[in-house]
Chain A
């Protein structure tokens, strides 16, 4: 089809949207880390594999690391994991459910994205949305 003055008008219709190529989208290679007992309990309810202390190889093989915290117990581990991700060029995202001031502070320098929420169902929502 040649370019016409109104190619956008035609291309933006619902009818044309049906012709978008339908190709399976693979999931992401994600490593989910529970920083404390509360985070582990949340992740157990999701039936999603997770780790309490990721090996360096696990982080390096991932293209996304999701760190979940519910309190400050894992602040030191948070800093270690986030720093390791930073050094390996792996995207780290922190999900803080409830109050975890120290964990947030530990993650902030290295985790490109932080969500601070009162709703534990956000953990599942983020994992699903990112295909993790």
Chain B
């Protein structure tokens, strides 16, 4: 349960809101690099943190992220033509550079200085890995670029997809911290999915539907450990890192690639979910990459030419009651991503957390909310830089590990939870 005013504090992310200010402290994924594949290609609409922007790649390969609307009459630059080092509005030909500076107003005299006085809001747009990242906050507080491992391994070792989720960002993120739903909602995936199946860890998962949880503070966020019984007086631990504000890594399974998510608010009621898979020491196989593109693992199967999943609310998520009856899937919805999204969207655009009945296994969610609330308030009241801004906080891994019962996971798995270049992840 959360008080209504705290729910508002955590979920509203537009300009001028306290949570919006928190998100503006971080580099965030703005779009996939594949969306701007060539110089002078078509511009792309980007909505992030409640701001409507246009992204483009100019003739020299520089990326721009600027106000979507022309300063002249407010026409959308989505119709614009990217050429001659900038983007021209399709209406009257006003031209802007990647920094939002107006470079030319064709109706003005040739020696006019008017264009120099016109500048659209602009934000940096930088490619790191498969993602174009932006920082919407104060340039004076701009941190170094992100150092998440998935976007720093060689390109052949990583894959990132994206999907539109029609709910507030927080209820989406909370699904990534809530390990207790996996053995139920995703049970079918553990048995059948090509990116999960065939590991010893799955046997522990499916044999023990009542895991124990430990939540431990971390510099950048949290570690959430879910433990199940293993053989010979040992526990099987699945450890999920959460890095503020909205990044999680799913614990690995065997030698399968490791996956995770970055939940980025589009506005208060919509979220971009960036989903990655990577392997620290080897290239993804052609079969693995194809499985990801086909929406297996934690990726989604999107409507061609869009980032909207095929299984979306307008088609009742293509729910298959026969598959549900047979036990192929627990909810009847195909794919882990949309199994999660269907239930999170069913809560309504912003779930009313005053009506929740949380239980002890929701401790990770409780702690996550508490960390967000304190970080929002500390930034608002004292200007304190929040956890997760420092790139050192990004250099974490998830782990799946069998440990003696007496051992603390956070002590015994300390090395496993840190990025070690050139070494494989610790996985069962």
Which residues of A are interface residues toward B (Cβ below 8 A)?
5-9, 11-14, 16-17, 20, 22, 25, 64, 91, 93, 101, 104-105, 108-109, 111-119, 121-122, 125-126, 128-131
11 contacts between A and B (CB under 8 A): A6-B316, A8-B314, A17-B348, A91-B360, A113-B360, A114-B214, A115-B215, A129-B366, A129-B369, A130-B366, A131-B357
Contact assessment for A116 and B348 in the assembled complex, using a CB-CB cutoff below 8 Å: no
Which residues of B are interface residues toward A (Cβ below 8 A)?
1-3, 166-167, 210, 212-217, 269, 313-317, 342, 345-350, 352, 355, 357-363, 366-367, 369-370, 374, 405-406, 408, 410
Contact assessment for A9 and B406 in the assembled complex, using a CB-CB cutoff below 8 Å: no
Q: What are the 7 tightest A-B residue pairs by CB atom distance, in nearest-first order?
A: A17-B348, A113-B360, A8-B313, A93-B360, A114-B214, A129-B366, A125-B370
- Nearest B residue to A105 by beta-carbon distance? B406
CB distance from B404 to the nearest CB of A (A): 11
A-side contacts of B2, CB under 8 Å: 129
CB distance from B214 to the nearest CB of A (A): 4
Q: How many A-B residue pairs have CB under 8 A?
A: 120
B-side contacts of A5, CB under 8 Å: 315-316
Contact assessment for B367 and A122 in the assembled complex, using a CB-CB cutoff below 8 Å: yes
Contact assessment for B212 and A113 in the assembled complex, using a CB-CB cutoff below 8 Å: yes
Contact assessment for A112 and B212 in the assembled complex, using a CB-CB cutoff below 8 Å: yes
Decide: A118 near B313, CB < 8 A? Known: A104-B408, A128-B1: no
> A12, A104, A117 — which one has the most chain B CB atoms within 10 A of its CB?
A12
Decide: A25 near B348, CB < 8 A? Known: A113-B212, A113-B360: no
Decide: A119 near B374, CB < 8 A? Known: A12-B349, A114-B215, A128-B1: yes
Contact assessment for B215 and A116 in the assembled complex, using a CB-CB cutoff below 8 Å: yes
A-side contacts of B359, CB under 8 Å: 91, 130
